[in-house]
Structure 1
Amino acid sequence: MSKPKIGIIVGSTRANRFADKPTEWISALARERTDIEVEIVDLRDYPMPFFEEATSPAWAPSKNEVAQRWQKKIDELDGFIITAAEYNHAPTGVLKNAIDYAATEWNRKPVSFVGYGGVGGARAVEQLRMIAIEMQMAPTKAAVHILWPDYLAVTQGKKLAEIDHLNQGAKAMLDDVAWWARVLKAAREADAVQAQAA
């Protein structure tokens, strides 16, 4: 079995977004590992319109070509880490829209979150965990929450890699994502073999 491929999804597309800093930091930590491969998946590269398909992608193919490209990318990945900004106690609209534009491609894969905002993005992450369960994903317990003092320190020049509690949280999260990605990838592959034999 090949190493699981983890997509780090950049969950904001705003100009001057903070998301690039946690994305670079968590991807650098993930690339130090030998048990997973990592790919950054930037929603800026998938400019999907507000969801307007006639039916859910769970029931019929999407007509939008960018959505089709997005679905193919999600299907290629074995697990996800999502950077989650919190706006008004919720995840970004562009992230929720991207989640809605795929369906079975998310199924039976782990997901975790690097949240940021007033309370470390905790309220956005809480909602994303519920959405992930509906998409038949396996959200991990461990996540990273970049609190407001951490955010301010970074805006004043400190690096996320220099903040001990964030590095500890990141290690726990990466351990969880890697374990679940390996186990669920093996199970999906076994299911595929069994389906072909039937």
Structure 2
Amino acid sequence: MTRIGILIGSTRPGRKGDRVARWVHERAARRGDAEFEVIDLLDHPLPHLDEPLPALAGRYRHGHTRAWADTIARFDGFVMVTPEYNASIPGVLKNAIDYLYAEWTHKAVGFVSYGGGGGTRAARQLRTVCELLRMSAVTPQVSLSLHTDFEDDATLTPGAHHVSALDTLLDDVVTHSTEGRTATPTQRETDEAAIRHHIGKIIDAIRAKDLEGLRRHYSTDVVSFDIDPPLRHVGIDAKLANWANVFTFFREVTYELRHLMPTVGEDVAFTHAFGRLSGTLPDGTAVGGMWVRVTFCFRKIDGDWLITHDQVSVPLDMPGGRGVVDLEP
């Protein structure tokens, strides 16, 4: 079923956004054509945008970004609830939006604003931001006045015309979200998303020191040109033995990739990136690790993309005959 997220765009103590979102959810829950869920930014604390690459690249470095992306990706459309602060939207809402791109794109969105003048200036700016993200912003809008729609500046008492406007807004959001949900992505988009998903699961398994989790993402005949001798490691058991050595060496493991770039064909694909393995030794010493060059080669086997070859390398100082391990991407 179509899923619509009702996003509370304020985290300020004493905010009214939770009451507005509750009203939207209670009204929406009467419908049978979609599922509705409140997304509270208080439950998703994000620092000021700290991703090294633009969201358009779709390569998220930090765990908090990936968790936020997973949350937003679950929904087919949104109702954004925003106050108006100094003729604009709250910084926390803009920050949360800026973290992502593909997770927003092509999804429907409607706006419920509130403020001294109904929050219309904030809603106007929010509409512009969402349209730049190629979201489908519906025309109906709800604008609640702090003077006439809140009793004693606390209890929400929207007029009947707001209820009618909200119903119309929900009609349009659900309709556009359902249409977007049934649209079929291209095979290349599907395959690229699957490969990014595999890479993300590999990172998660490395950080969890989960050998069986890693096993699921390699072919049984994988050939690995790893950073440590010998020149090649053949077969899944040899590849996992390398990771087992890493997991023994480190008490806690951190692994990150930057500049991941996939190229997808019909049944063969490859990605290249910069990777860094770091962690904490058994005695508590933190090891920063070094940046290396990483290539993953995939084959589609029985409908699933599996790594059949990977290669890790560092640049070579030719006169000295030593690897250069102090470079950063």
TM-score, normalised via structure 2 length: 0.55
Q: Shift of residue 109 of structure 1?
A: 0.5
Other-structure match for 1:110 = 108
| 1:176 and 2:135 are equivalent in the alignment | no
User: Which of 146, 167, 185 is the equivalent residue of 1:191?
Assistant: 185
| 1:54 and 2:52 are equivalent in the alignment | yes
Matched AA of 2:42: R
Matched AA of 1:19: G
| 1:167 and 2:163 are equivalent in the alignment | yes
**Cα deviations across residues 16-50 of structure 1 (Å, max 9, x unaligned)?**
11001111000011110000101111101111111
Greater RCO, CA 8 A, separation 6+ = 1
CA contact 2:119–2:144 (8 Å) conserved in 1? yes
CA contact 1:46–1:67 (8 Å) conserved in 2? no
Q: 1: CA distance between counterparts of 2:190 and 2:125?
A: 37
For the structure 1 residues 20 and 154, does the alpha-carbon distance in structure 2 shift closer, same or farther, using more than 3 Å as the test?
Answer: farther
Q: 2: CA distance between counterparts of 1:5 and 1:35?
A: 9
TM-score, normalised via structure 1 length: 0.90
Aligned residue for 2:180, secondary structure, equals helix
User: Which of 10, 13, 32 is the equivalent residue of 1:12?
Assistant: 10
Aligned residue for 2:86, secondary structure, equals coil
Q: 1: CA distance between counterparts of 2:152 and 2:23?
A: 12
Counterparts in 2 of 1:61-140, with a 5 A limit?
A: 61-140=59-138
Matched AA of 1:137: M
For the structure 1 residues 61 and 120, does the alpha-carbon distance in structure 2 shift closer, same or farther, using more than 3 Å as the test?
Answer: same
CA contact 2:10–2:92 (8 Å) conserved in 1? yes
CA contact 1:23–1:83 (8 Å) conserved in 2? yes
Q: 1: CA distance between counterparts of 2:187 and 2:26?
A: 34
Q: Shift of residue 66 of structure 1?
A: 1.6
Matched AA of 1:4: T
| 1:153 and 2:151 are equivalent in the alignment | yes
Q: Shift of residue 164 of structure 1?
A: 0.6
Aligned residue for 1:58, secondary structure, equals helix
For the structure 1 residues 154 and 191, does the alpha-carbon distance in structure 2 shift closer, same or farther, using more than 3 Å as the test?
Answer: farther
Q: 2: CA distance between counterparts of 1:85 and 1:104?
A: 25
- Structure 1 residue runs without a partner (length 5+): none
Structure 1 or 2: more helix by fraction: 1
Greater Cα offset, 48-57 or 135-144: 48-57
CA contact 2:2–2:174 (8 Å) conserved in 1? yes
Bigger Rg, which one: 2
Aligned residue for 1:177, secondary structure, equals helix
Q: 2: CA distance between counterparts of 1:195 and 1:43?
A: 29
Q: Shift of residue 150 of structure 1?
A: 2.8
For the structure 1 residues 156 and 43, does the alpha-carbon distance in structure 2 shift closer, same or farther, using more than 3 Å as the test?
Answer: closer
For the structure 1 residues 27 and 193, does the alpha-carbon distance in structure 2 shift closer, same or farther, using more than 3 Å as the test?
Answer: farther
Q: 1: CA distance between counterparts of 2:156 and 2:41?
A: 26
Q: Percent identity?
A: 32
Other-structure match for 2:212 = none
Q: Shift of residue 60 of structure 1?
A: 4.6
**Cα deviations across residues 102-141 of structure 1 (Å, max 9, x unaligned)?**
1100011000111001221110110111110111100000
Aligned-residue Cα RMSD (Å) equals: 1.9
